[in-house]
A and B are shown apart, each in its own frame.
Chain A
Amino acid sequence: MSDLATRNTEGDIGRLSRRDFIKLGAAVGAAAGTLSLGSRRLMAMEQELGGDDISAVTGAQRQSVPYTCLACNIEDGGVAFVENGRIVKLEGNMDHPNTRGKLCAKGNSGFLHVYDPDRIMTPLLRTGKRGEGKWKRISYDEATSLLAKKLREVIDRAQSEGDEAILNEIVFKWGRNRTGGAVHRFMHALGSNTMINHTNICESSKKVGLEPSWGPDIESCDWANTKYIINFGSNVLETAYFMNPNAQRLVDGVVGNKAKLVSFDVRLSNTSGFADEAYFPYPGTDGVIALAMAHVIMNEGLYDAAFIRDWTNVTAEQLIAHLKPYTPEFAEQESTVPARDIRRIAREFATTKPATTFSYRGPAKHVYGAYQEAAIHMLNVITGNVEKKGGYCLPRGMDWPQPQPEPPKGKTASLLAAPPLYPLASHHVSTHVPYMIMKGEAKVSVWMHLYDNPVYTYPSSHVWAHLFKDEALLPFVVSFSPYMSETTELADLIIPDVTYLERHDPESMPSGLYPCLSIRQPVVKPLGGTQEFRQTLIDVIKKVDPDGSLGIQQYFAFNSVEDWMRAHFDAIPGLKDEGGWDLMKRKGVWPIYGQVDKTTAKLVDKNGNEVEPEYGLYKKPVPAADLEGAEVGEDGTIRKDGKAIGVRIGDQSYVGFGTPSRRIELYKQSFKDYGFNPLPVYKRLPSRDKRSDELVLTTFKVNVHTQSRTASIKYLAELYHKNPVWINPKTAAARGIADGDLIRVTSDVGHIVTRAHITEGIHPDVVAVSTACGHSAYGRLSQLKQKEAAEEWAQGGDPDITHNVWWDDKGVHPNPIIRLSVDPIGGSQGWYDTLVRVNKAEPGDHYGDVETSVEVSIKDYEQTLRLAYTGDLHRINHKEVDIDWDHLPQPALHAGGH
């Protein structure tokens, strides 16, 4: 500027002094506040989410390709911007009604998965001992031939021995299966039912707390329109299910609609930090708080009498009697949350309309987590907030058809897939699989896994490592992972899938109140000639049944993967007329409900009017055609061909809820059949009776990581990579522990050596450790090996690793010392039921030390079976249930396949 100010100019304009120059400039600046000066042609780039994107370097318009995110399981809609065949940026898809143009940090950095130098880019065949890290590169063709040969051997043996149960020795386990039915098609074609999910290390008890009551396995809160929210043990602003859409709407509700947020969590999560009121209950006591609130609401007559009468299978009197013991004072005794607050919040919740609860991991991941979830759910039912605008709504998903013909399920039920001692756990009990195999209860010939890392993600994870290392128990292990996880490094054959940005999947997630379909499609060609999993399945089946004589080739008779997608999408009514699969490729999502209003973030039509979601789904009338020939039972249930299709209330026929009575079944007969309490109850857990030197170990997720697979993402690892143990100052002081001290955390299974983070933000009887850190595999970044052996590790040549990793702490993983204990109802692992002793580290302890015992874990397995419905502890814990204990149903294999 001084240059300009002192330069001589010719003509009429005289020399501009510095003072004049500043004065004039300031005056112009002030004027510009009201008048927009400057060029009207120049626009800031990327002003609008979902807008065009122009390369800042080349000026070229980038190609935008819609997709569905799978950096985590929320399945948000995204748009990838592609330049020169490379993904340069990811953004939220503005057409996705629940994502509304925003991705989280994980979603935004997802493209780093594609270009990760530690990605597995070619099939690898093990050459050394299992886990030794010796491999030979082979082609996809060789790899699929080898897998097909192994599978065919099992099929031939089953045929020659005339025993179809042998087919169940073919095992497929996943952590995430977002293939839209491809894995089931594959396994059913092979005749096996041994498909093992991961749900019981996640929220299966939440699902089982809800499903028998109203049908689906989760709620969809109308956050944006509510006035009162009670959050039980969910960190919805950072991580819980439907995190990104829910977090957006929660903020809309709290900020835009002035809703009150009350949060219960053992730890000051960011959600609790955002709340109007935060409480720190003792772990495993959310249920008793909810029951006490229900007690207040029922006893003070604050309930919705008409809703209970018409839409539940209980009476108000029944509930009042059942809830009698659950006074706020009793709840205070159990939870440490003051009775007066419980009472007040109950009144506020019941009298503020509309209101909703939300809950996730906190209540569900305990032994008897299903009761806790059912208790929380009940609060919404008795206050009549179900399916109201601003209330607690049913989830809304959409179905898509499967290509025909479809293979039938395998003929023999699988013991591993659905252990018979857990008949109510509709999402099964995958934690028990290694123990069952080690005990010889089931045999495995071929084990395949996709998006699954149990050697890291399961409780007492060392047991899984023990299983995978045993070649007698698992003779042939195939991983489809594109990353060398703790589990994949124990495989015999790796046939790497591509990343989620390079492959096809159909999707529909009930992540908001607008049901929609979405797709995954390769936004760039699979990198370096890698092959997507779906193509691998086609190739394997063709090689298992080369001449079609097994009759299974027909189920995979797709000319291409895209053909397979067309078969899903081209015949859907409505979508078909708009272009079917071709429309999905262009838009990524369907239907398009409207546009996002820039001020309110609501969906609006072209006239600017809000496109409201549909409410009151259960009150839709049963179609007249369906009523023809239907019968109405004494309780009002409308049945046709033996199936409940609706409920008659007064003179109206409604579709109702997805239960046998089509009403909300707060009373669950299925629970009672197995000796569980049919109504929500509180069961005091052993962790509530801990010794004074013990603490309850809990874990939590953070906003920039999934459980396991984001540790190799550079942006995210830089943001979060270490996980010291949160401990209350009083608790720490009593043990002589200072912030940052090396500590030993010991459970009955073993110990870890880690560091302390002293914070007021945690219950004094609890310690908390985040997941996602402390990897022993998953690439250079997650393992941080260069810090241990700089010289050697820098040889990998990645300059980011060599120069830019400023941290030297990768954290310590808590899972090895977390004890196996599952909810006998819902099957969830009791992640927050492990008691530990926390002390300063002992001489000779080193940061990251882990010591565990497989023998102790096996004892834990036996102990947890005692809680199952056939176990002795089950009877002791359910004395109140009026049932003939000597004639409980016999354990039976899940009939008809999975």
Chain B
Amino acid sequence: MQTHHQTATQSSRPVASDETIEERAALSGLYKLIARCLEEELDRETLRLLRGALREPLSAAGWTLDADFFATAEDTLLEVLAEEYTGLLVAPGCVNPHASVFETGALFREPCDRAAAAYREAGFDYRRRLSGEFPDHIGTLLGFLGHLAEAEAEALRRGDTEAAEQARQRYDRFLLEQLGPWAPGWCQRAARAALHPFYRQVLQFTEQLLWQALAEITDRRGLKELLAKNRREPQKLDYNADFRKASGL
């Protein structure tokens, strides 16, 4: 389990104002969008959405997709993006998108159980669509945040403050415990490894969104701790391998 000291601040208590409802619904939409972009290869419908209705709002939010993204034929772009997705997030040597790998160096460890338990608690069952997918996939984790934010907005809309509060608590806890310690840093590394600008931008956008979301629910000290956790520079080992003879024995 996590050992961080961050605490959810007062700002996490939902207030049933139109503004809050709108904000939570928007947040949900953003999470769902990036979840769809990261959980699997881009599909035709999402591509059309990105190139159509979302083009302006995304650009206004600072996510300006480059000209090629709009100029390339749909089929070609889908192929190119599928290849990039596989190289970046699926095939050996990729930036592994699972919390277990980032946290422990192995597939299917405790972060998987924690994620699955949180899904269950909120009434979701995890079912993979393709082989090699696990509940602690970054895309799924983000999608879950989207569901929680949506649940909160809907509860607020129907005036069920208890349900809204429960959804908000789940959201805060999940964001703080299951994504906060690693996901923004992971996004940064993955963005650096991305060869295609689309994925670089999705990942940079995600990183930014996560930091903002975390800042809303964490005090300064907690945020500093999260920043340190996400940095994950290679450790300098105080181990001198040279004492071993050339034999390697």
Do A and B come from the same complex?
Answer: yes
B108 & A723 in contact (Cβ 8 Å cutoff): no
Min distance, Cβ A133 to any Cβ of chain B, angstroms: 7
Min distance, Cβ A120 to any Cβ of chain B, angstroms: 6
Of the residues A120, A757, A808, contact of B92 by C-beta under 8 Å:
A120
Mask, B143-179, CB within 8 Å of A = 1, is 0000000000000000000000000000000000000
Closest B residue, CB atoms, query A140: B131
B130 & A780 in contact (Cβ 8 Å cutoff): no
Mask, A136-150, CB within 8 Å of B = 1, is 110110000000000
A139 & B193 in contact (Cβ 8 Å cutoff): no
Is residue A86 within 8 Å, beta carbon to beta carbon, of the partner chain?
Answer: yes
A528 & B94 in contact (Cβ 8 Å cutoff): no
Point out which of B85, B103, B107 has the most chain A C-beta atoms below 10 A from its C-beta.
Answer: B107
B246 & A755 in contact (Cβ 8 Å cutoff): yes
B246 & A739 in contact (Cβ 8 Å cutoff): yes
Min distance, Cβ B70 to any Cβ of chain A, angstroms: 23
Contact A806 to B237, CB < 8 A, known contacts A795-B95, A799-B232: yes
For the complex, give the distance between the alpha carbons of A56 and B78 in Å: 49
For the complex, give the distance between the alpha carbons of A801 and B92 in Å: 14
A137 & B113 in contact (Cβ 8 Å cutoff): no
Is residue B79 within 8 Å, beta carbon to beta carbon, of the partner chain?
Answer: yes
B102 & A137 in contact (Cβ 8 Å cutoff): no
Contact A137 to B237, CB < 8 A, known contacts A127-B83, A529-B128, A724-B248: no
For the complex, give the distance between the alpha carbons of A118 and B93 in Å: 6
Of the residues A127, A528, A724, contact of B134 by C-beta under 8 Å:
A528
For the complex, give the distance between the alpha carbons of A290 and B131 in Å: 55
Min distance, Cβ B114 to any Cβ of chain A, angstroms: 12
Is residue B52 within 8 Å, beta carbon to beta carbon, of the partner chain?
Answer: no
Binds A, one of B28-36, B57-65, B184-192, B206-214: B184-192
Point out which of B93, B102, B103 has the most chain A C-beta atoms below 10 A from its C-beta.
Answer: B93
For the complex, give the distance between the alpha carbons of A140 and B128 in Å: 14
For the complex, give the distance between the alpha carbons of A530 and B108 in Å: 13
Closest A residue, CB atoms, query B41: A137
Min distance, Cβ B97 to any Cβ of chain A, angstroms: 9
B132 & A121 in contact (Cβ 8 Å cutoff): yes
Q: Chain A interface residue count: which class?
A: 35 or more
Residues of B within 8 A of A483 (CB): 92
For the complex, give the distance between the alpha carbons of A534 and B241 in Å: 44
For the complex, give the distance between the alpha carbons of A757 and B133 in Å: 45
Is residue A800 within 8 Å, beta carbon to beta carbon, of the partner chain?
Answer: yes
Min distance, Cβ A596 to any Cβ of chain B, angstroms: 31
Is residue B91 within 8 Å, beta carbon to beta carbon, of the partner chain?
Answer: yes
Of the residues B108, B193, B245, contact of A795 by C-beta under 8 Å:
B193
B102 & A803 in contact (Cβ 8 Å cutoff): no
Residues of A within 8 A of B128 (CB): 528-529
Is residue B96 within 8 Å, beta carbon to beta carbon, of the partner chain?
Answer: yes
The tally of residues in B whose CB lies under 8 Å from a CB in A reads: 47
For the complex, give the distance between the alpha carbons of A483 and B93 in Å: 11
Contact A530 to B131, CB < 8 A, known contacts A739-B245, A795-B192, A806-B239: yes
Contact A529 to B101, CB < 8 A, known contacts A722-B248, A797-B186: no
Residues of A within 8 A of B94 (CB): 796
Majority SS at the chain B contact face: loop
Contact A119 to B248, CB < 8 A, known contacts A795-B192, A803-B235: no
A122 & B130 in contact (Cβ 8 Å cutoff): yes
For the complex, give the distance between the alpha carbons of A724 and B249 in Å: 10
Residues of A within 8 A of B132 (CB): 121-122, 528-530
B131 & A484 in contact (Cβ 8 Å cutoff): no
Residues of B within 8 A of A800 (CB): 105
A798 & B105 in contact (Cβ 8 Å cutoff): yes
Contact A134 to B105, CB < 8 A, known contacts A724-B248, A802-B232: no
Is residue B51 within 8 Å, beta carbon to beta carbon, of the partner chain?
Answer: no
For the complex, give the distance between the alpha carbons of A755 and B101 in Å: 34
Is residue B104 within 8 Å, beta carbon to beta carbon, of the partner chain?
Answer: yes
B107 & A116 in contact (Cβ 8 Å cutoff): yes
Residues of A within 8 A of B239 (CB): 806
Is residue B109 within 8 Å, beta carbon to beta carbon, of the partner chain?
Answer: yes
Closest A residue, CB atoms, query B80: A127
Closest B residue, CB atoms, query A739: B246
Point out which of A528, A721, A797, A802 has the most chain B C-beta atoms below 10 A from its C-beta.
Answer: A797
A807 & B241 in contact (Cβ 8 Å cutoff): yes
Is residue A181 within 8 Å, beta carbon to beta carbon, of the partner chain?
Answer: no
For the complex, give the distance between the alpha carbons of A235 and B241 in Å: 28
A127 & B79 in contact (Cβ 8 Å cutoff): yes
B105 & A801 in contact (Cβ 8 Å cutoff): yes
CB under 8 Å from chain A, chain B span 111-135: 113, 128, 130-134
A528 & B108 in contact (Cβ 8 Å cutoff): yes
Is residue B3 within 8 Å, beta carbon to beta carbon, of the partner chain?
Answer: no
CB under 8 Å from chain B, chain A span 112-129: 112, 114-124, 127-128
B107 & A527 in contact (Cβ 8 Å cutoff): yes
A724 & B237 in contact (Cβ 8 Å cutoff): no
Mask, A528-542, CB within 8 Å of B = 1, is 111100000000000
Of the residues A114, A529, A792, A799, contact of B103 by C-beta under 8 Å:
A799
Min distance, Cβ B139 to any Cβ of chain A, angstroms: 13
Is residue B12 within 8 Å, beta carbon to beta carbon, of the partner chain?
Answer: no
Residues of A within 8 A of B190 (CB): 795
Closest A residue, CB atoms, query B84: A134
Of the residues A723, A780, A798, A808, contact of B241 by C-beta under 8 Å:
A808
Closest A residue, CB atoms, query B194: A795
Is residue B222 within 8 Å, beta carbon to beta carbon, of the partner chain?
Answer: no
Is residue B106 within 8 Å, beta carbon to beta carbon, of the partner chain?
Answer: yes
Contact A799 to B82, CB < 8 A, known contacts A118-B92, A530-B131, A739-B246: no
For the complex, give the distance between the alpha carbons of A779 and B107 in Å: 14
Point out which of B131, B193, B239, B241 has the most chain A C-beta atoms below 10 A from its C-beta.
Answer: B131
For the complex, give the distance between the alpha carbons of A798 and B92 in Å: 12
Mask, A706-724, CB within 8 Å of B = 1, is 0000000010000011111
Of the residues A117, A127, A722, A795, contact of B101 by C-beta under 8 Å:
A117
B247 & A796 in contact (Cβ 8 Å cutoff): no
Contact A528 to B87, CB < 8 A, known contacts A139-B130, A796-B95: no
The 7 sampled A-B contact pairs (Cβ below 8 Å) are: A117-B106, A124-B90, A135-B83, A530-B132, A724-B247, A786-B234, A796-B93
| Additional 10 contacts, C-beta under 8 A, given A119-B92, A121-B131 | A120-B91, A122-B130, A134-B87, A484-B93, A722-B246, A740-B245, A792-B192, A797-B186, A799-B103, A800-B105
